[in-house]
Amino acid sequence: MMTNRMKRGRGMAASWYGIARTATIDRAGAWAELDDGGTGKVVTGVTEIGEGILTVLAQVAAEEMGIRPEDVTIGDNDTSRAPEAAHAGATRQTYMIGNSVALAAREARNALFEEIADHWDVPVESLRAFNGELWAEDTNLRMTMEDAVATCKGRGVVPVGSASFTAHGTGLDPVDGSGSPWQAYVFGTQVAEVEVDTWTGEVQVLGIWAAHDVGRAINPRGVEGQIEGGVVQGLGQALMEEYTTEKGHAITHGFAKYILPTSLDIPQINCSIVEDPDPKSPLRAKGIGEPALVPTAPAIMNAIYDAIGVRIKSLPATPEKILEALRNHVPGREQIAQSARLERAEAARHQSAKA
């Protein structure tokens, strides 16, 4: 299958990452209302930059309020009209704003539940709501959320809620750096399979296996989208992207010079979503935006080494760099080095066996 020209190999890399703002307390606020028609309204300071957080927030609010995601209207992104939710970054949206919206929506629902429980004369704990319906467990009492909101308002109460969610990171000691920068951590591992063209130096990534802990996947397809996007940005940095200046003047001043991954560069990306729930937040979800790209470049470099015995320590691994490294490559050097390593490892095993 493989010619001498084309060499394949595999490599892997692990990674870790912190969720939300680093080495500081983080906070986000949200308001919620169960609105006419059994719809929901959520207002918060910052949301979508493309990752899909609007949909995640609608899912979270719908789940808490007993309505459907498409019934949720989100008012957002306005410093004069919405409560502060800080910034869109730091892999904090699902964690910070998601939890804030969950708590605000829960408070709005509880306000409604209090009224309906009184109206039906049942304990409030027996009430459940999902998908636009509200019912009391172990009874035949059931109504739509539209009717529930109307009933609640008829009793003089607008079901609203508000919440602030806090993540308790602490600053680092200025001398030894000690501190607890985050309250939630995620871990990831990726495997890369590459083919290296030893004539041209071109590397193609054919497969990526990406396993990432996200705490809890609110929207698994959205999580995959973040992993796929992160992997491809990591691939770009690994192999082709390089903003270059000469005495401060950009040489790569457009996309003809600054090379980005396109549809033909994309490996098959196989995602494994691992869920290790966050014990410190109501949603138990963590995040995935940034962590997804951390292990990609080292996994690819380790795979290139596996394929051709050349270790690229300076990114990106451009065809020029690969060819130069291959030219400086002394045949047999790895084998010599390897036998030395094997001896050492053997000695170590003897040593530890004796101990």
Partner 1 sequence: MPKLRIEAEVNGRKVDRETEPHKRLLDFLRDDLNLTGTKEGCGAGECGTCSVFVDGKLVKSCLMPAGKANGAKIETIEGLAKPGDLTPVQRAFHKTGASQCGYCIPGMVMAATSALRENPQADIEEIKERLGGNICRCTGYTKIFEAVEIAKGVIAGTVPETALEEDMVDDSFIGANVRRLDAPSKVSGRLKYAADMKLPDMLQMQVLRSPHAHARILSIDTSEAEAMDGVACVITAQDVPGTDGFGVFVHDQPIMARDKVRHVGEAVAAVAAEDLVTARRALSKIKVEYEELPGLFDPGEAMAPGAPVIHDYAQDNLIKHIPVRKGDVAAGFAEADLILEDDFSTQQVEHAYLEPEAGVAYVDPDDVVVVISPSQNISHHRHMLAEIIAKPINKVRFIMSPVGGGFGGKEDMIYQGMLALAAMKTHRPVQLNFTREESLIASAKRHPSRVHYRMGLKWDGRITAIEFDMLSDGGAFGMSSEGVMRKAAILSCGPYEVHNLKVDTRVVYTNNTPSGAFRTFGGMQAQFATESMMDMAAEALDMDPFEIRRVNMMKVGAKTHTQQTLETASLDRVLDAAEQASRWEKGAPRVRGATRKDLNGPDTRQPCTLGARIKKASKDSDESERVA
User: What is the set of active-site residues?
Assistant: 290
Q: Could you say whether residue 39 binds partner 1 (CB under 8 A)?
A: no
**34 vs 294, which CB is nearer to partner 1?**
294
CA distances to 54, 185, 231, 297, 300 from 271, rounded to whole Å, are: 22, 19, 10, 17, 16
Q: Could you say whether residue 140 binds partner 1 (CB under 8 A)?
A: no
Q: Could you say whether residue 354 binds partner 1 (CB under 8 A)?
A: no
Distance of alpha carbon 147 from alpha carbon 135, whole angstroms: 12
**Using the rule CB under 8 A, which residue among 153, 204, 319, 323 binds partner 1?**
204
Distance of alpha carbon 302 from alpha carbon 307, whole angstroms: 9
Q: What residues does 269 pair with on adjacent strands?
A: 208
Q: Could you say whether residue 338 binds partner 1 (CB under 8 A)?
A: yes
CA angle at 105 for the pair 103 and 110, rounded to the nearest 5°: 95
Q: Could you say whether residue 324 binds partner 1 (CB under 8 A)?
A: no
Q: Cβ distance 109 to 129 under 8 Å?
A: yes
Q: Could you say whether residue 331 binds partner 1 (CB under 8 A)?
A: no
The interface with partner 1 within residues 278-297 (CB under 8 A) comprises 278-279, 283, 289-291, 293-295, 297
**Using the rule CB under 8 A, which residue among 80, 138, 331, 354 binds partner 1?**
80
Q: Could you say whether residue 328 binds partner 1 (CB under 8 A)?
A: no
**153 vs 216, which CB is nearer to partner 1?**
216
Stated as kind and residue range, the H or E segment containing 7 is: strand 6-18
**Using the rule CB under 8 A, which residue among 76, 107, 115, 146 binds partner 1?**
76
Task: Looking at 96-144, list the stretches that DSSP marks H as alpha helix, in order from N- to C-terminal side.
Answer: 98-120
Q: Is the peptide bond before 316 cis (omega within 30 degrees of 0)?
A: yes
The interface with partner 1 within residues 87-116 (CB under 8 A) comprises 87-90
**Using the rule CB under 8 A, which residue among 268, 320, 324, 336 binds partner 1?**
268
Q: Look up residue 166 and give its two tokens.
A: 């806090």
- What DSSP string runs through 40-70? EEEEES---SSSSHHHHHHHHHHHHHTS-GG
The interface with partner 1 within residues 178-197 (CB under 8 A) comprises 178-181, 184-191, 193, 195
- Sheet arrangement for strand 127-130: 127-130, 133-136, 142-144
Distance of alpha carbon 30 from alpha carbon 160, whole angstroms: 11
User: How many residues contact partner 1, by CB under 8 A?
Assistant: 158
**Using the rule CB under 8 A, which residue among 117, 122, 150, 211 binds partner 1?**
211
Instruction: Please identify, among the stretches 114-122, 140-148, 159-167, 343-351, the one whose residues bind partner 1 according to the rule CB under 8 A.
Output: 343-351
**8 vs 153, which CB is nearer to partner 1?**
8
The interface with partner 1 within residues 240-259 (CB under 8 A) comprises 241-245, 247-250, 252-256, 258
Distance of alpha carbon 210 from alpha carbon 188, whole angstroms: 7
Radius of gyration of the chain (CA): 27
**Using the rule CB under 8 A, which residue among 5, 272, 320, 324 binds partner 1?**
272
**Using the rule CB under 8 A, which residue among 97, 239, 316, 325 binds partner 1?**
316
**Using the rule CB under 8 A, which residue among 150, 315, 323, 326 binds partner 1?**
315
Q: Could you say whether residue 298 binds partner 1 (CB under 8 A)?
A: yes
